[in-house]
Amino acid sequence: MKLRWNKMATSSPTEGHFTQVLQCPICLETLRRPKVLPCGHTYCNSCLQSHISSKVINRGTPQGCFPCPVCRADTTLPDNTASVDHWAELFPVNSIVSSLLDVSVETFGEKFCEFCLKWNRETSAKSFCKDCRRFLCTLCKEHHNETLSRISHDVIDLSTDYDTSIRIPSLSTIEKCLKHLNKSIKFFCMDHSSLCCNTCGFLEHRTCGRVIPIDDMVKTFDSKTKSKYLETNIRNIGEHMQGITSKIKENENDIQNDKSSILKEIRSLRAEINAKLQNLEDDLIASLEGNHKAEDLSLHIQASRGQSLISAIGCDLTQLDLVMKHGSDLQKVIMLHNMEKNQNRYFKAISEYQEELKYIKLGLEGNTHLQDLINGLNQFGQITVTRSQTKLPPCPVVTVSEPTVETVSEFSGIPLKDRNAVKVSEFSVRLPDDTSPCYISDVLTLQRAKHIFVDWNNEKIKEYGDNFQLQECMKLQGSPWNACTLRDNKMVVTLPYQKTILVFGIGHKMHIVGEIKTRLQCWGIAVMKDEIVITTGRDEHCILVLDINGSEIRTVRPDNYQSEKLLYPYYAKINRDETSIYISYNNGNKMVAYNTSWNVLFIYTDQDMKVPLGIDTDREGNIFLCGYGSFNVQQISTDGKLIKVLITKKEEMKEPLTIQFYRDMDRFCVTYCNGDVEVYDMSE
């Protein structure tokens, strides 16, 4: 059922918006009993049940899971014990859509009775059945209400001017828990950013440290600001998806053109082959005709010669018979004598004739190359399908709280160890011309609105400015791993496999101003006063200290590095007051703190820290360590004790690579091996 408006009225953008939002993606009619799946897509209850039946019942034993018809996401049942033919009933009603359906009844123009429309009669609707989602005239309403199955339906009078709270009762269902449909939302877990009912709070969040009553959250929640940037985010995502669908349509046109071009090429090839075969056939037939004519003439000449000999023999036999019957004895003697000579001559002529006579047969000897070609030709050609990465603009920046870094407040008095990390934005640094998945092995936050990302896989240095917009991208002759700043507006970047440190100017535009060659591979890099510290990874598992010009000063390796498994040092970090150096050892799942004399201060290890990589420190000296293999970021005290697991991405299976604090701010960003970047505040 589609909403039918007065065709004399002018359609408005709002009307079109309502029609689109209220349309079921399966039946393309106005939604009836709209049920929402966990992925957010909404369908008619009956359409959803039909989809479930086709995907689950008709395929065998139900597994408690089915794909969303739109996004194909696996949908798990709230209750696995329910019968398959009642699965759709288990999902909650989309209260927002239900409210919009209620609003739409009164919002736009004159409505017509839908039963009358089926008989091509436009009768003004006087009522609306909220269960059937149909407009009814007075007569059809009476028939509707007399039907036993519809006797309990909620039918409203369109002429009644009733209150919004009555008109939109379904909004109250927003306050219900999506997991426990009869329970109301009572709490908000700040640790998991999750709305909870009493059951959720008891079962899933009782060990969380920051669970507050929902009423307390409502008092301080700035819904106007939140709505503004969420609307901006969603609009940006929608525009981005429009661009993607445009690219898909372009691709559809391209492959249609490819098809036409290939068909033309196939027909051209066939015509060329036909022409070649026709020429070969014509030549062969001409050869056949020529040979046949020549051999036929030869046989004709031989036959004529034989016929002449037969005639001569016949003539002699006639003469012999005549003489023998009517000639004198003398004539007989002479004739017989001559016949004897002719006999010898005939015998000799026939012998020669037989010797020269050949039996002729015409045949066809095929071209062996052509026969081999025919035997080996099992297809006319092969259609290839080449898939390459679609060149798309970067994904839009998704702001979780404030839209830009610039709006964040400065330091407050609460110690950082007592705060939690709250994500404020996320974005991707994948570019259309990236040929490999992004692997952001390091990031520099040079100022509040400037980031430099080191992309190992794509051999690039990428600079982003305000609102995380790409400013510059430089392709290198090798994969870069780590970077840090130097004085005089410069930075250094390591190329491990080239055993090279590149020196960049990073003023108005990035440019290479020099390079330093190292004895061993150079992975992690940090600068302390006038010394450069590099880690060598698997290349001797040590630390090299260079002067500012690149000359090697010393090699650092703990005496017990083998027994302690201090192997594969990949990242280095110097704290802000330059009193400690932190090195992460990939193989041993450890981080070692050294003083400036390279004495070991402590060795940090934790059962929940696997494959430690990037390191940074905050203004209080607390250490932040990325666990690539444990999908987390840990906060560690200055004496090597675990404060807390600050971020965990185990459910998302996202491996954090490195972390970097912003200058003069309690804010940091974390990079991941899929090209994503997330920005966090140390929130009170």
For 414-683, CATH gives 2.120.10.30
d(CA 111, CA 127): 10
Mean pLDDT of 37-59: 81
pLDDT at 506: 86
Q: Quick one: average pLDDT of 245-261?
A: 91
Q: What is the pLDDT of residues 77-89, one digit of tens each?
A: 776 677 777 788 8
**Is the model's pLDDT at 58 over the cut of 70?**
no
pLDDT of 215 higher than 90: no
Phi/psi at 88 (5° precision): -60, -30
Cβ atoms of 494 and 534 within 8 Å: the answer is yes
What is d(CA 42, CA 602) in angstroms, rounded to the nearest whole number?
55
pLDDT greater than 80 at residue 193:
no
pLDDT of residue 5: 40
pLDDT of res. 396: 62
Asked whether residue 671 carries a pLDDT value surpassing 60, the answer given is: yes
Mean pLDDT of the region 303-330? 88
409 vs 566, which has greater pLDDT?
Answer: 566
Per-residue pLDDT averaged across 342-368, rounded? Answer: 86
Same-fold call for 13-220 versus 414-683 = no
Q: What is the mean pLDDT of residues 648-662?
A: 87
pLDDT above 70: percentage of residues in the chain: 86
How many CB atoms are closer than 10 A to CB 625? 26
Q: Which amino acid is at 389?
A: Q
User: Cβ distance 101 to 34 under 8 Å?
Assistant: yes
- Confidence bin at 410 (pLDDT 50/70/90): very low
In Å, what is the CA distance from 470 to each residue of 95, 464, 477?
Answer: 40, 4, 21
How many CA atoms does the CB half-sphere of 566 hold within 13 Å? Answer: 22
Q: Which of 10-19, 66-75, 499-508 is modeled with the greatest confidence?
A: 499-508
In this structure, how many other beta carbons lie within 10 angstroms of the beta carbon of residue 575? 20
Q: Are 478 and 485 in contact (CB under 8 A)?
A: no
Query: Distance between CA 613 and CA 610 in Å, rounded?
Result: 9
The pLDDT, as a whole number, for residue 399 is 54
pLDDT over threshold 90, residue 623:
yes
Classify residue 526 as exposed, middle or buried by CB count within 10 Å of its CB (0-12, 13-18, 19+): buried
Mean pLDDT over 540-569 rounds to 86
pLDDT for 63: 65
Per-residue model confidence (pLDDT) at position 199: 85
CB 539 within 8 A of CB 521: yes
- The Cα–Cα gap between 456 and 439 comes to 5
pLDDT band at 40; cut points 50, 70, 90: confident
* pLDDT category of residue 107 using cuts at 50, 70 and 90: low
- At residue 392, the pLDDT reads 66
Rounded to 5°, angle at Cα 674 from 670 and 678: 25
Q: What is the pLDDT of residue 498?
A: 95
Higher pLDDT pick, 218 / 591: 591
Residue 162 confidence (pLDDT) above 50: no
Mean pLDDT confidence for 328-344: 88
Q: Is the pLDDT of residue 129 over 50?
A: yes
Report the percentage of the chain scoring pLDDT > 90.
Answer: 30
Q: In what order do the strands lie in the sheet with 483-486?
A: 483-486, 490-495, 500-506, 510-517
Domain boundary assignment for the chain: 13-220, 261-358, 414-683
- CATH code assigned to 13-220: 3.30.40.10
CA distances from 181 to 90, 93, 408 (A): 9, 10, 38
Query: In terms of pLDDT, which residue wins out, 101 or 188?
Result: 188
Q: Residue 563 has which token pair?
A: 């027994």
With H, G, I as helix, E, B as strand and everything else as coil, classify residue 464: strand
Is the pLDDT score of 209 beyond 80?
no
Would you say residue 592 has pLDDT above 80? yes
Question: What strand order describes the sheet that includes 440-447?
Answer: 440-447, 450-455, 460-464, 470-475
Predicted local distance difference test score (pLDDT) of residue 617: 95
Q: Is the pLDDT of residue 195 over 80?
A: yes
Which range among 110-124, 243-257, 461-475 shows the weakest confidence by mean pLDDT? 110-124
Which has the closest alpha carbon to 582: 550, 631, 626?
626
Please give the model's pTM, rounded to 2 decimal places.
Answer: 0.50
- The rounded mean pLDDT for the chain is 82
Give the position of tokens 């090798």. 478
- Encoded amino acid at 682, one letter: M
Mean pLDDT of 46-74: 76
Please tell me what DSSP assigns to residue 496: G
Question: What is the full DSSP assignment across 264-290?
Answer: HHHHHHHHHHHHHHHHHHHHHHHHHHH
φ/ψ (deg, to 5) at 643: -90, -55
Question: Model confidence at 164, in pLDDT bands (50, 70, 90)?
Answer: very low
Q: Which two tokens stand for residue 388?
A: 């390459």
Quick check: 462 and 438 in contact, CB under 8 A? no
